[in-house]
Amino acid sequence: MIWNVYHVALKEILHLVRDRRTLAFLILMPPILTVIFGYAIGSPKVSAIATRVLDLDGGRVGEAYVEAIRDSVAFRPDVREGARESDVAEAEAALQRDEISAFVVLPRGLTRSLDAGESGTVRAVVDASDTFTAPSILRELGAVTVQQNLFLAADNLRRAGRAASVEDGLAQAAPIELAAELRFNPELRSQNFVMPGVIGLVLQLLTVIVMSTSIARERERGTMEQLLVTPLTPPQIFIGKILPYFLLALVVTASVLLLAWLLFAIALSGHVTVVAALVVAFVLGSLGVGQLISVVSRNQGQAIQLAVFFILPAFVLSGAFTPIETQPPNVRPIAYLFPLTYFCRGFRAALLRQASLADVRTDLLVMGAFVLITFGASVLVLRARRDAV
């Protein structure tokens, strides 16, 4: 039994060593993707949105509003002081040409009407085709408007002699103060949230792809039949095939975690046991999924298609980059079909909440179940092939 597994594993290692290019790819791809994704997905905040500001007012209120927009990192404003009505049509055209994402119109006579005790309207025209940017623009402009209203109210209080200064007026106009305390990730470092997802995604990519082609390749070459006429049993074939890739995945994990530490300051000190347990369960679970894909595929082409069909939804739905809570409730259950979901959840808990082995036991158990189910199913499928119609 042990010898049989050893010989299959040795053969797989020889395949890997002979195919230098693939081996180099398997070892280099994860760190490279970790760096790319780590920087690319690290900061999901929208900034420097091209926005045109048309100040038709030219008064005190308009100027203050323009200043507030200039101060916000969300905008890259193109301010037109002394703008006229004809500039509004030009701004519409610029929005159409996608040169700007929004424009703000401060109407003529805004300062005058407010000084007269009337209300005024600031127009904001926003390109809503980008559903990610548009809400950010509205949120930022809303904040600017609230802030300007407060300043005006405070200034009015001062002029009316009911406040000693603008600061005093502000305190009267906005008596409620929000005292927020940030826990677990006080600096709001997005890397702390994103890196577990990146590492999980990269490991999943490596294990599922590499494993899904393994049995399919034997079938394509006709060597599967040769294996099946030997005394090798299906479990021996599977374990022997998984073993080298399991070890490879551990080496790759170490390199990726090292990069995460060096580049993104993700330190594992204090969580090593928990993360190690999660990695082992996740890698085995993903290899199991790849194995099952391989067994049901007739050739490597089919196997790769199936692997992509599994990897892409996992990428989007597992909560690796966007929280599962952002998905519609009827889609959420799909997330629980991917080992990646449990890995990310457990890894984040360990990294950010100092979770212990007991805290992540559900994630470990579910991933363990993935290993057993995929392994058992692979054996059954292979046995059933003997009766194939």
By CB under 8 A, name the one of 161, 186, 222, 329 that touches other proteins.
222
Is 18 or 183 the residue whose CB approaches other proteins more closely? 18
By CB under 8 A, name the one of 223, 273, 305, 354 that touches other proteins.
223
Is 187 or 387 the residue whose CB approaches other proteins more closely? 387
Bridge partners, residue 124, by sequence: 104
Distances (CA, A) of 272 to 255, 278, 325, 347: 15, 10, 28, 11
Alpha carbon 292 to chain centroid, angstroms: 27
**Cα dihedral sign, 146-150-152-153:** positive
d(CA 104, CA 101): 11
d(CA 311, CA 213): 14
d(CA 368, CA 8): 24
Is 160 or 389 the residue whose CB approaches other proteins more closely? 389
Is 16 or 94 the residue whose CB approaches other proteins more closely? 16
Sequence-distant (≥ 6) Cβ neighbours of residue 360 within 8 angstroms: 274, 277, 278, 345, 346, 349, 350
- CB 215 within 8 Å of CB 295: yes
d(CA 344, CA 348): 6
Interacting residues with other proteins between 369 and 388 (CB under 8 A): 386-388
299 binds other proteins (CB under 8 A): no
Site string for other proteins, 18-57 (x = CB under 8 A): xx--------------------------------------
228 binds other proteins (CB under 8 A): yes
Is 230 or 305 the residue whose CB approaches other proteins more closely? 230
| Of the candidates 93, 87, 98, the residue with the CA atom closest to the CA atom of residue 127 | 98
4 binds other proteins (CB under 8 A): yes
**Closest distance to other proteins from the beta carbon of 374 (Å):** 24
- CB 105 within 8 Å of CB 86: no
**Closest distance to other proteins from the beta carbon of 385 (Å):** 9
The tally of CA atoms less than 13 A away on the side-chain side of residue 300 is 10
**Closest distance to other proteins from the beta carbon of 265 (Å):** 42
Other Cβ atoms less than 10 A from the Cβ of 200: the count is 30
Alpha carbon 305 to chain centroid, angstroms: 23
- How many residues sit close enough to other proteins to count as binding (CB under 8 A)? 26
By CB under 8 A, name the one of 47, 96, 226, 356 that touches other proteins.
226
| Of the candidates 202, 175, 260, 368, the residue with the CA atom closest to the CA atom of residue 360 | 368
By CB under 8 A, name the one of 47, 96, 149, 230 that touches other proteins.
230
d(CA 21, CA 26): 9
- CB 60 within 8 Å of CB 111: yes
Interacting residues with other proteins between 103 and 122 (CB under 8 A): none
By CB under 8 A, name the one of 7, 60, 353, 361 that touches other proteins.
7
**Closest distance to other proteins from the beta carbon of 7 (Å):** 4
Site string for other proteins, 192-221 (x = CB under 8 A): -----------------------------x
**Closest distance to other proteins from the beta carbon of 384 (Å):** 10
Is 367 or 382 the residue whose CB approaches other proteins more closely? 382
By CB under 8 A, name the one of 117, 175, 231, 323 that touches other proteins.
231
Residues that bind other proteins (CB under 8 A): 3-4, 6-8, 10-11, 14-15, 18-19, 221-223, 225-232, 386-389
